[in-house]
């Protein structure tokens, strides 16, 4: 199965700064079927980006997905307090679909 | 509006089974598949499997093969996740999620989650 490794584990930034989250796959992801989810405490995950750069409905344009093959990035520009959450990447190109372990983003 | 509403919390003994339902509305049921994901307390997300809304085809994570069955009822637009031989480490929040509007299988619309607690 494809293992996804996210980095960093924890990211602490101030409002207005830019966040760069990485997701590296153990092998090439078919069709670049890579997605990013945001999960706030006590809530279900929310799809932000998929395919790997298409914004889901309602995703602000501050969120940008990029990458291909084995290396993918989620960039959040102009951080806001409500961006504080855990972010997961998921590949859905090859079964079993797998998730990364998550990056916790803290807004100071 | 698209809604996925899951059944309520369950408490089960080890060795028992649980069946979680995911009632969908607001779209054509047979046009989209549904993914099931779980999350143990304080842990990350874990993909369990996927079922086609069109023909009931399924994909399962190897870890759950033989213990989980995904089914659908087209007459009520409801998906089901049946997990057998429960263990304490099956204690988790279980989510269903419908595929994306463009047809991608990734979960775009999520249920509220069902907490399953396995305890003797």
Average pLDDT, rounded, for chain A: 96
CB within 8 A of A7, min separation 6: which ones?
A21, A22, A24, A103
CA-to-CA dists, residue B113 to A3, A4, A7, B5, angstroms? 25, 24, 27, 8
At A90-108, the pLDDT tens digits run 999 998 999 999 999 999 9
| Contact assessment for residue B112 and residue B94, using Cβ atoms and an 8 Å cutoff | no
Query: CB contact, 8 Å: B62 with chain A?
Result: yes
At B59-70, the pLDDT tens digits run 999 999 899 999
Q: Is the dihedral of CA A88, B109, B90, B92 positive or negative?
A: positive
Look at residue A104 in the predicted model and tell me its pLDDT.
98
Tell me how far apart the alpha carbons of residues A3 and A16 are, in angstroms, rounded to a whole number: 32
At A21-31, the pLDDT tens digits run 999 999 999 99
Phi, psi (degrees; rounded to nearest 5) at A6:
-100, 145
Could you list the beta-strand ranges (E) of B9-105: 10-12, 18-25, 34-39, 46-51, 58-60, 68-73, 78-83, 92-99
Contacts of A41 in chain B (CB under 8 A): none
Q: Please answer yes or no on whether B59 and A46 come within 8 Å at the CB atom.
A: no
The mean pLDDT value for A74-102 works out to 96
The mean pLDDT value for A45-60 works out to 94
Contacts of B97 in chain A (CB under 8 A): 45
Give the minimum alpha-carbon distance from B97 to chain A in angstroms, rounded to a whole number.
10
Q: What residues of A are in the B interface, CB distance below 8 Å?
A: 1, 33, 35, 37, 39, 44-47, 50-51, 54, 56-57, 88, 90, 92, 95-102
The mean pLDDT value for A53-76 works out to 96
Q: Name the stretches of chain B with pLDDT < 70.
A: none
Look at residue B36 in the predicted model and tell me its pLDDT.
98
């Amino acid at each position: 199965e494809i293992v996804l490794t996210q980095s960093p584990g924890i990211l602490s930034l101030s409002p207005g700064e830019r966040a760069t989250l990485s997701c590296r796959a153990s092998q090439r992801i078919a069709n670049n079927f890579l997605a990013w989810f945001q999960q706030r405490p006590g809530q279900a995950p929310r799809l932000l980006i998929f395919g790997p750069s298409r914004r889901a409905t309602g995703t602000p344009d501050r969120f940008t997905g990029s990458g291909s093959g084995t290396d993918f990035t989620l960039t959040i520009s102009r951080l806001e307090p409500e961006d504080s959450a855990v972010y997961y990447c998921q590949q859905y190109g090859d079964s079993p679909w797998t998730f990364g372990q998550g990056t916790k983003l803290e807004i100071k | 509006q698209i809604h996925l509403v899951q059944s309520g919390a369950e408490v089960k003994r080890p060795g028992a089974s649980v069946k979680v339902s995911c009632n969908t509305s607001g779209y054509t049921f047979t046009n989209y598949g549904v993914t099931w994901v779980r999350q143990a307390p304080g842990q990350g997300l874990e993909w369990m499997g996927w079922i086609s809304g069109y023909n009931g085809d399924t994909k399962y994570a190897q870890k759950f093969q033989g213990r989980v069955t995904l089914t659908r009822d087209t007459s009520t637009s409801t998906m089901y996740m049946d997990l057998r031989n429960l263990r304490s480490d099956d204690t988790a929040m279980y989510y269903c999620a419908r595929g994306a509007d463009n047809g991608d299988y990734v979960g775009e619309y999520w249920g509220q989650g069902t907490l399953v607690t396995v305890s003797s």
